[in-house]
Structure 1
Amino acid sequence: MAKPNPLKHPLLKYFISILLVSLSYILGIYTSSNNSTSPPLHEQKQPLNCHQLNFSLPVLDFESHHTLSPPQEPLRNLQFFNFCPPNFTNYCPCHDPSRETDFTAERFFSRERHCPEPYEKPMCLVPRPAGYKRPFSWPKSRDYAWFKNLPFKELSEVKKTQNWVRLEGDLLVFPGGGTSFRKGVKGYVDEIKRFVPLKSGSIRTVLDVGCGVFSMGSRCLISFPLFSQCKWLDGLYLMEIDRVLRPGGYWIFSGPPINWKANYKGSEVGAQELEQEQARLEDLAVRLCWKKVAEKGAIAAWRKPNNHIHCIIKSRIWKSPRFCTNSDPDAGWYKKMEPCITPLLNVTDIHDISGGSLEKWSKRLNIAPPRTKSEGISGAAFEGDNQLWKRRNNLSIVYDRGLIGTYMNWCSILDILLEMHRILRPEGAVIIRDHVDIIVEVKGIAEKMKWNGRILHSENGAFHPEKILLIDTCC
């Protein structure tokens, strides 16, 4: 009987195959690394005067190491993006004054958000102002800004007697006084606290509207004052404010025509016109079912009802505007204003809160709001989203948690990154979590923007396709 040939044993063939594949892979890596045209790490120069983030974690390489050249893409031959011309320093693509004449001025439509078409978007990096300095940290940034970061004197010169903004040496100072509030923003907010429970944690929304650069929002959120128009256009703007306000939300209005009897002497408008304007404002507020909670000095405040049961009953008596048949209270951009009341969700009792009651701030930040059920999101799924950054919440849930959010309608990764570069000043950071294929693509574009990126494993481990990209916006 012939002896079996050991070379034909199935197990031996298996081991030989593994050995050949391993040798081929090692040879491929060695060949690819020798043929690479990338400069050594020590040759990559970093921008001067820049404090880099300390990336002390190991480098993860997800680039392909085969020698077959992939199809050429538009950005593949681009080494770095060029900077835009110097006049782009303060460029804001969706609010570009040079494009206002392209739109109608009716109802200030030309001043609304109008983003450029794809062929109009500049494929360059918006440069920082000459002499740019790192901004002050919060909360000092509410009151001070380096003049060279926003070198415009016009407002400080035109409004120098009204205590809005002053140029002091190399600083812009924002006292926040204005014409009616000489004690500044702090004094203004202290006045509001007397009739709006700002510290109670129970408020969902407070909209503060003035007739100039003064705003409570500038004190709470940003260092730059907010502008608003004081023409109500037959109540259309007020109905839009009603749409945005959540149930039980407050609307605060300061300046003319409020308390016109005491303040008309300092106004450019006559007493009779101010009286009529405030009367129209008061009448529409009633027909919107708002309750006036206070009027003191040049400040007045109204509150939106928790539900519309009483409003529906009284609508004929008050001659209220009709209820909208198709209006989304969570819509953000490009929402056409309509002369109607956006209806609140139905309730069975006049004491109920439309959409359900929420926890007080800051507990509501991490507790599933009632609307998760109507959005088809279970408590377990919400908790999972809360622990990880896997899925986005719908805007309605974002709002109910007490957060601010909006959807981006720019679909290109490149568009989003260029816009992030415009908004983020040097010495900032970006954290992106996504599938490894997206992460690798983003990292490649970020490097062409002269950003430094590092890919990290998520808490799911090395074999999970979801990765984290940390970016240092140093340059």
Structure 2
Amino acid sequence: MEHRERHCPKPSPRCLVPLPVGYKLPVPWPKSRDMIWYGNVPHPKLVDYKRGQNWAFSKIKWGKHTRVILDVGCGVASFGGYLLDKNVITMSFAPKDEHEAQIQFALERGIPATLSVIGTQSLTFPDNVYDMIHCARCRVHWDADGGKPLLELNRILRPGGVFVWSATPVYRDDERDQNVWNSMVALTESICWEVVAKTVESSGIGLVIYQKPVSNFCYEGRKKNDPPLCDQTERQNTSWYVPLQSCLPKLSSELKWPAPWPERLSSKPQSLATESSAEDIYHDDTKHWSTLVSDVYLNALGINWSGIRNVMDMNAGYGGFAAALIDKPLWVMNVVPINLPDTLRVVFDRGLIGIYHDWCEAFNTYPRTYDLLHANYLFGNLTKRCDIEDVVVEMDRIMRPGGWLLIQDIMETVTKLTPILRSLHWETTLYEGQYLVGKKGFWRPTDGKHG
């Protein structure tokens, strides 16, 4: 899988992605969950999640205890789409596929998804944040390279969280599958994962549910210290361009399961710094975004929110922007820039999803996959490290035609951004000297050069 990992070209290309022949505005949500325009994303069919696997549903408190899920090798993200009705938000991921652009297809449906792969690098998520990880018809070799892929899942899975695994080794008894199963048994036992359920449905598909421990008690009681416990002094704060590890991170005794949803959204996140000032800043931030979104963003900027489904907050902070939009029929990808304070754990503790990123590089998604990009005071720090024009070209790439850009920044930044956006034939409007609203059209240069 190494060849499918991030390989960003340098310098960044300054060319505009052409529209496919026959491209149309996407089907609005919720119809898009079941129907998209074939010309937008060529793909043979929609795959419905097999709802016959209800035995697993009865064992998991969807939308209350289990709120944030990672779907590995997700296909077209039907599992995540199905769970939206249960107040569950799923981050689905799969590698770039040369034949069927499954992640582009999922995003065209309006279902959260990102391009990613478990190869040699850590996933760009914090430790201990996913309530559940799911892999159906799973082809990942979890025991490869000394078990590093499974150790990566262990890193990001919340203590007490579960891994639902559906694969042929679970229910077939041929020699090859049994060897894989025996290897999986040994590996999961070595990291203290407990089997809480295992069955084969009438359809013949088998699943097993593992649960991660909630303390270091089992780790310390192992007869063999393999894999070893990680040296915490050598671990990096974020997982951006960090090699996969072959050790077990220690579990803090302070790690408790978040409050049930929806209280989880407004409760004090356990990953928040313990100082009272940090809590005050967090609550002030929540109030700020609630007021700003209701009074300004939704009513005063001329944005048509009814056609918006896929939203990205390019500088998410504590996730206050996403929290303020929680009652809208949309979802938000909360991006925490790697050069700013790491608040992504707080985002997940609130029951939201997000990812680390460096905006001096391309974002892991296909062209035309987001309806609205939001950037709050992002560019001042960013332009000290890279060219603002490269960032605008990347925003143009991932924005759908007809999509919206909403920027709050100082006037100096707005003055730099406006002519670049207009050179791309975007409509721009400035509100109150600090809110820059842009709208992307269908224009592309006829000669293929940057306009």
TM-score (norm 1): 0.59
Q: Is the 8 A contact 1:210 1:253 kept in 2?
A: no
CA distance in 2, matches of 1:235, 1:125: 41
Match of 1:299 among 198, 207, 212: 207
Match for residue 80 of structure 2? 217
Answer yes or no: is 1:373 the counterpart of 2:263. Answer: no
Answer yes or no: is 1:441 the counterpart of 2:349. Answer: no
- In structure 2, relative to structure 1, the CA distance for the partners of 1:254 and 1:197 (3 Å cut) is same
Secondary structure, aligned partner of 1:146:
coil
Gaps of 5+ in 2: 84-89, 93-104, 107-112, 118-137, 201-205, 290-314, 319-342, 361-381, 443-451
Secondary structure, aligned partner of 1:110:
helix
- Post-superposition CA distance 1:90-126 (Å, at most 9, x none): xxxxxxxxxxxxxxxxxx2111122221x2x221221
> Larger strand proportion, structure 1 or 2?
2
CA positional deviation for 1:418? 1.5
Match for residue 26 of structure 1? none
State the number of aligned residues. 312
Map 1:134-153 onto structure 2 (within 5 A).
134-151=25-42
Secondary structure, aligned partner of 1:292:
strand
CA positional deviation for 1:328? 5.2
CA positional deviation for 1:440? 2.4
- In structure 2, relative to structure 1, the CA distance for the partners of 1:304 and 1:391 (3 Å cut) is closer
Match for residue 170 of structure 1? none
- Post-superposition CA distance 1:231-272 (Å, at most 9, x none): 2203110001101112222211112111224xxxxxxxxx01
Structure 2 counterpart of 1:112, one-letter code: E
Map 1:378-389 onto structure 2 (within 5 A).
378-388=278-288
Match for residue 402 of structure 2? 427
- Post-superposition CA distance 1:106-163 (Å, at most 9, x none): xx2111122221x2x22122122111012222333233221111235xxx4xxxxxxx
CA distance in 2, matches of 1:401, 1:292: 28
Match of 2:349 among 396, 400, 412: 400
Match for residue 361 of structure 1? 261
Match of 1:311 among 218, 221, 227: 218
What's the Cα RMSD here? 2.9
- In structure 2, relative to structure 1, the CA distance for the partners of 1:209 and 1:318 (3 Å cut) is farther
TM-score (norm 2): 0.62
Match of 2:247 among 340, 344, 351: 340
Match for residue 281 of structure 1? 184
Match for residue 59 of structure 2? 195
- Post-superposition CA distance 1:415-457 (Å, at most 9, x none): 2222221111112112111222212222222111211121112
Structure 1 counterpart of 2:414, one-letter code: I
Query: Percent of counterpart pairs with the same letter?
Result: 30
CA positional deviation for 1:329? 8.6
Q: Is the 8 A contact 2:47 2:78 kept in 1?
A: no
CA distance in 2, matches of 1:442, 1:133: 27
Q: Is the 8 A contact 2:389 2:420 kept in 1?
A: yes
Comparing both chains, which one has the higher relative contact order based on Cα–Cα distances under 8 Å and sequence gaps of 6 or more?
Answer: 2
CA positional deviation for 1:373? 1.9
- In structure 2, relative to structure 1, the CA distance for the partners of 1:282 and 1:207 (3 Å cut) is farther
CA distance in 1, matches of 2:155, 2:78: 20
Q: Is the 8 A contact 2:162 2:211 kept in 1?
A: yes
Map 1:112-151 onto structure 2 (within 5 A).
112-117=5-10, 119=11, 121-151=12-42
231-240 or 370-379, which moves further after superposition?
A: 370-379
Secondary structure, aligned partner of 1:125:
coil
Map 1:217-256 onto structure 2 (within 5 A).
217=80, 219-220=82-83, 224=106, 229-232=139-142, 233=144, 234-256=146-168
Gaps of 5+ in 1: 1-107, 157-165, 167-173, 177-183, 262-270, 348-353
Q: Is the 8 A contact 1:203 1:248 kept in 2?
A: no
- In structure 2, relative to structure 1, the CA distance for the partners of 1:415 and 1:456 (3 Å cut) is same
Q: Is the 8 A contact 1:260 1:275 kept in 2?
A: yes
CA distance in 2, matches of 1:236, 1:307: 21
- In structure 2, relative to structure 1, the CA distance for the partners of 1:248 and 1:205 (3 Å cut) is farther
Q: Is the 8 A contact 1:210 1:254 kept in 2?
A: no
Q: Is the 8 A contact 1:205 1:246 kept in 2?
A: no
Match for residue 227 of structure 2? 321
Secondary structure, aligned partner of 2:409:
strand
